[in-house]
Amino acid sequence: MDRYGGGFHLSEETPVYVISVAAQLSGLHPQTLRQYDRLGLVSPGRTSGRGRRYSARDIELLREVQRLSQEEGINLAGVKHILELRQQVEELREELIHLQNELAAARTVVSRHRRAVAETDRLPVRRTSVVMWHQRPVDD
């Protein structure tokens, strides 16, 4: 709960920072943030009046774009490609986790079915007497 008694929770994804605050937090000029938005590098949330609102994750991403651009010397098109590849890797990781969970569930079902089949193989057999059968000779 917040100090006013509300029950909301801010996550890393919650867009709360106006562009001036986001610029200060990221160490970039507001115009740079607008440029990154136009290029699709960092796309902040929007208010109903179309104002930009940056999340904590957006701030981290702004810093990473700046690092790749300034420290690594990668042009913005390259940075965009790197970010897209990272996003694809993250999506594939999530899909892998989902598929691993499905596989584990399927293995559990198969295991239950195998146990059920094994139990049916153990049905009690009535043992009474053994009859020997001999073929009769055919009379000509």
Span 59-89, pLDDT tens digits? 999 999 999 999 999 999 999 999 999 999 9
Using a 10 angstrom Cβ sphere, with 0-12 exposed, 13-18 middle and 19 or more buried, the burial of residue 75 is exposed
- Is there a contact between 47 and 7 (Cβ–Cβ < 8 Å)? no
Mean pLDDT confidence for 106-110? 97
**In the chain, what is the straight-line distance between the N-terminal and C-terminal CA atoms, in Å?**
103
Domains present along the chain, CATH in parentheses: 19-119 (1.10.1660.10)
Give this prediction's pTM.
0.66
Give counts: helices (H), strands (E), the chain: 4, 2
Give the model's confidence band at 1: pLDDT under 50 very low, under 70 low, under 90 confident, else very high. Answer: very low
- Is there a contact between 14 and 55 (Cβ–Cβ < 8 Å)? yes
Quote the CA–CA distance of 135 and 140 in Å, as a whole number. Answer: 15
- Is there a contact between 69 and 63 (Cβ–Cβ < 8 Å)? no
Q: What percent of the chain has pLDDT over 70?
A: 88
Q: Which pLDDT belongs to residue 28?
A: 96
pLDDT greater than 80 at residue 42: yes
Stated as kind and residue range, the H or E segment containing 45 is: strand 45-46
Higher pLDDT, 126 or 106: 106
